[in-house]
Structure 1
Amino acid sequence: MQFPQPFIQELKAQLGDEYADFEAALQQSPPVSIRYNSAKFPDFPTEDTVKWCSEARYLAARPVFTLDPLFHAGAYYVQEASSMLIGEALAQTVDLSEPLRVLDLCAAPGGKTTLLASKLSSDSLLLANEVIRSRVMILKENVQKWGFSNVHVSNHDPEDLGKLEGFFDVILVDAPCSGEGLFRKDPAAVDEWSMENVQICAGRQKRILSAAMPLLSAGGVLIYCTCTYNDAENQDSSAFVVDTHQFEEVKLQWPADWGIVAKKMGYQCYPHKVRGEGFFLAVFRKTAQLDSFYYNMEKGGRPRSFKPLHKKQLNEISRWLQEPDEFSFYEKPNGEVIALLENQKNDLIVLDNLLFAKGLGLEMGSFKGTDFIPSHALALSTALSAQLPRLELSEGEALQFLKKENLLFDAPKGWLLVTHRGLGLGWVKGLGNRINNYLPKDWRIRMEIPE
């Protein structure tokens, strides 16, 4: 792999005599790592742990994840190891036992969102926002696979969120960048790299940070990260935050054997030092004592996009959840039923009134007459009742289901949760002599399954 000369000069300036080791590391195959969902898969293997993330493991080789039903069930997420440092940074800077309002501002495809979800308390609110509309669907899909009811999705430019000034306790800005840290994972990125693009990315990052900083409450934490090495996108963007005189950098502590390099501001992962890709991380705390967020609930305390579910339907809807009393139920204009956690209801009403492109709450399904049709998101939710009828499938049968093929089973009439190794994959409906597969078409496996 040949690198552009300006990139080589930048890294030689950063690394000196270590540059040869760095370049040699980029010629090697990248490590493969996954992070388990402890809410769904608590008994994960113990070997080859990622040092800074107890739920994460390295794999000896890259399997075909598409052909693993556990991947579709949200048992784990395929995530680059260095980027998991965000979880440790969060643990060092906030009290994770407290309820927090958290914004993942540039969230797609959702790896860092699911990491945050697993670290936060169950009564914290996590809003995963993505500005690019075409990327929202994969974000939503990965959030639904993870199955946490306190994670919500929005599709806004950062500048559209100004009405939420002072609302959040933590904001993650995983900024769009030149992608230098992913060169060995994506060799095509080398050909797309240019100094001009680096400067474009640096300007875009400052615009995003300018929109993000006012959204934090006093004392709130801003986590800024990129998957690149250059100072224009890392050091200069970090200095831009501090130069507002509203933030101070938070210094973090890493064990020496993690191999993380402290920079003038923030921290850098290099692939010849860390078993992972290039990744930069800096953390800042808001020191400015500004007015806290205020919203007049008496004046605007009703949802704008949904109405309370009819009382006659509450009994039916409640039986699908393990702890229905923890939720309030609403119906959207299209008939879709959603469940909002009671301890977040007021905050979600605020978001509903101030945002126009969002998906709040747990998608439950919809009523067709008196019959309730459960959503796919409900099948993947950790809030799902353990008492619902289930149909456990072998790996081969599960893949057949995930290709949206019909299964031949003698099954009782009614809705059945399809499971593999106890984890929900979707719904089928028993009709006596056959069952109908209700896997959404967009979720089906399209590749051929080997014999």
Structure 2
Amino acid sequence: METLFLERMKNELKEDYETFVDSLSSPLLRGLRYDPRKLSREKLEANVPLGKPSPFCPQSFYVDRPLGNHPYHLAGAFYLQEPSASSAVQILDVQPEDIVLDLCAAPGGKSTQIASHLDDGILVCNEYDSKRAMVLLSNLERMGVQNFVLTQGEVGPLCEELHDCFDKVLVDAPCSGEGMMKKHDAAMQSWSLEHVQACARRQKEILSCAYRALKKDGILVYSTCTYSKEENEEVIAAFLKEHPDMIQIDPDCSFGRRGIPTLGMDAQKVVRIYPMDGGEGHFVCKMQKTAGTKRALPIQKLKKRDRKTEEALGQWIRSIPKQILVQKDHVYVMDHPFLKLSQVRVLRQGTLAGTWIKNRLEPAHALFQAFSKENYVLTQELSLEQMDEVMHGAPIVSQVSKGYVAYCIDGLPFGFGKSDGHRINNKIPKGLRLLPGSHVKKEIEKHER
């Protein structure tokens, strides 16, 4: 199978084939994308070991080491992402008030990138696999995303219930993953033409559902991390034939290269990225829907604002979001109205703020990741050594007022504890704490060396 794959790549790349083969034995390209709402570029460059800027997104850089335990990563200020993976959302061109659907969203790189551009808009993201959906939720919370709805299941019912509702739709489709072969050896070993063809059939089905969700004049971006023409240009050609009101849009970018000539689509209006172009592999096509209708999202009619809940939240945050939903004793908050959905499984809407236990509202970890430092009533700035202790479950001795306190590192909130006036007892969830042999400060020491 490896021989067949390489033969196909040779026919596709021609004079660039040898460079591509050499790239397969070179180190994996690593990257990060920072959130400018949390962190300035100057602060990032001063505190994180960065390589050169990535060409795929203004907020992306190459890195040469793992940074999962860097304090800024733990605080949700940046997302570790293969460099070319940021290209699809860059081409999607999300605007602050857009209503956006990310149909195949886990693990969350593209969803959190979309959310970093939204203000009054909202992100609906879906993941079919339940375990991957929980990883997605964890990343949404870590990055402090607030105005979002996370659903889990097949895309058909979701797109039918929310038909004609979205300004932007991203389909980062499940694929054969040819661009991931350096990262996962099994990808090369399990590659087959039959798998490529099966992926292409599934991709066409997902695109047809995405079309249903898109409103008139809306933008649809289709992307994969694979090279095969069957999953890229041929999928687009089949989709355009089935939906004549969809037109290709110039991606308006300077990175990558144009596509493989294919009957039924314009290869000059797609982007292909190979390792020789600075990314492990991506394909992106941008399209617009020229017919159809525009429909508003279905909104829940909430009861009168619960003053008791507001008063409880006001003990911890200064500015309470516009919308509060109390559901089975759980309290959720966001500025965008909550959606009314009946045909899909909803894992989360907005930020989980806390849970009512008898007559006491117990705050949730996500609440202390969702806002800037200035919005918390009580905060405690920690040193690197203290953050390391906290991330292993230890309390902090501090003369801070009684109540729930947001832990901060360099002004970035990353969790919370409960102060008795002399000590802050740790409230970092056990599942998010670092393992005994893993440390925050070691990442900084690497940078200093």
Task: Give the drift of 1:362.
Answer: 1.7
The answer to whether the Cα contact below 8 Å between 1:322 and 1:384 also exists between their aligned partners in 2 is no
Q: Which residue of 2 aligns with 1:32?
A: 30
Within the candidate set 323, 328, 336, 1:328 is matched to 323
- Paired residues, number: 425
1:310 to 306, 312, 318: 306
Match 1:284 to one of 276, 287, 290? 287
C-alpha contact (below 8 Å) 1:166/1:291 kept by paired residues: yes
Residues 351-362 of structure 1: pairs in structure 2 closer than 5 A: 352-362=341-351
Say whether the 8 Å CA contact 2:106–2:133 is kept in structure 1.
yes
TM-superposed deviation, 1:69:
2.1
Conserved in 2, the CA contact under 8 Å of 1:66 and 1:445? no
Q: Choose the corresponding residue for 2:77, options 71, 75, 87.
A: 75
Q: 1:410 to 1:442 in 2, by over 3 A?
A: same
Give the TM-score of the pair, scaled to structure 1.
0.88
Partner of 1:125 in structure 2? 122
Match of 1:236 in 2: 234
Q: Is the 8 A contact 1:320 1:385 kept in 2?
A: no
Distance in structure 1 (CA, Å) of the matches to 2:339 and 2:319: 21
Counterpart code for 2:29: P
Give per-residue Cα distances to partners, 1:370-423, cap 9 Å, x unaligned. 543221111111266535211222222212211223344454422111111111
Q: CA deviation at 1:353?
A: 4.5
Q: Does 1:44 align with 2:31?
A: no
Contact 1:22 1:271 in 2 (8 A): yes
Residue identity opposite 2:411 in structure 1 = G
Query: 1:140 maps to which residue?
Result: 137
* Aligned-pair CA distance for 1:320: 3.5
Q: 2:86 aligns with which of 81, 84, 87?
A: 84
Identity of aligned residues (%): 30
Q: Structure 1 residue 167 and structure 2 residue 162: aligned? A: no
Q: Residue 82 and residue 349 in structure 1: after superposition, are their counterparts in 2 closer, same or farther (change >3 A)?
A: closer
Provide the C-alpha distance between the structure 2 equivalents of 1:212 and 1:259, rounded to a whole number of angstroms.
Answer: 25
Report how far residue 432 of structure 1 moved: 4.2
**Separation in 2, partners of 1:446, 1:205:** 39
Contact 2:227/2:282 (<8 A) preserved? yes
Aligned match of 1:396: 385
Structure 2 residue runs without a partner (length 5+): 262-266, 443-449
User: 8 Å contact 2:419–2:425 — kept in the other structure?
Assistant: yes
Q: Contact 2:390 / 2:426 at 8 angstroms: preserved in 1?
A: yes
Stretches of structure 1 lacking an aligned partner (at least 5 in a row): none
Spell out the pairing of 1:361-440 with structure 2 (5 A cutoff): 361-382=350-371, 385-440=374-429
1:436 to 1:321, Cα distance in 2 relative to 1, 3 A:
closer
Query: Letter of the aligned partner of 1:141 in structure 2?
Result: S
Cα distance in 1 for residues equivalent to 2:388 and 2:298: 50
Supply the distance in 2 between the matched residues of 1:372 and 1:57 (Cα, whole angstroms).
41
Give how far 1:84 is off: 1.1
Secondary structure of 1:53 counterpart? coil
Greater shift, 397-406 or 209-218, is seen at 397-406
Shift of 1:230: 0.5
Secondary structure at 2:16 match in 1: helix
Counterpart-to-counterpart distance in 2, 1:117 and 1:281: 19
Provide, for residues 5-39 of structure 1, a one-character-per-residue CA deviation record: whole Å limited to 9, x for no partner.
12112111111121011111111002221011111
The secondary structure found in structure 2 opposite 1:170 is strand
Alignment partner of 1:112: what SS? helix
User: Does the 8 A contact of 2:149 with 2:346 survive in 1?
Assistant: no
Structure 1 equivalent of residue 331 of structure 2: 337
Cα deviation, residue 318, structure 1: 3.5
Give the Cα separation in 1 of the matches to 2:148 and 2:296: 22
Select the residue among 138, 148, 151 that pairs with 1:151: 148
Q: Which residue of 185, 189, 192 maps to 2:190? A: 192
The answer to whether structure 1 residue 349 and structure 2 residue 344 are counterparts is: no
- Cα separation, partners in 2 of 1:54 and 1:72, compared to 1, 3 Å: same
Supply the AA of the counterpart residue of 2:21: E
**CA separation of 1:371/1:405 partners in 2, compared to 1, >3 Å: closer, same or farther?**
same
Q: Is the 8 A contact 2:403 2:419 kept in 1?
A: yes
What amino acid is aligned across from residue 339 of structure 1 in structure 2? Answer: V
Determine if contact 1:321/1:384 at 8 Å carries over to the other structure: no
CA-to-aligned-CA distance 1:262-286 (integer Å, 9 cap, x gap): 44332110112x1111111111111
Note the C-alpha offset of 1:142.
0.6
Report the residue type matching 1:317 in the other structure: L
> How far 1:441 moved relative to its partner?
1.8
- 1:168-183 matches, within 5 Å, as 168-183=166-181
User: What corresponds to 2:446 in structure 1?
Assistant: none
CA distance in 1, matches of 2:38, 2:415: 15
| Counterpart code for 2:434 | I
Match of 1:213, SS state, is helix
CA distance in 2, matches of 1:415, 1:88: 38
| Displacement of 1:47 | 6.2
> What displacement does 1:315 show?
2.5
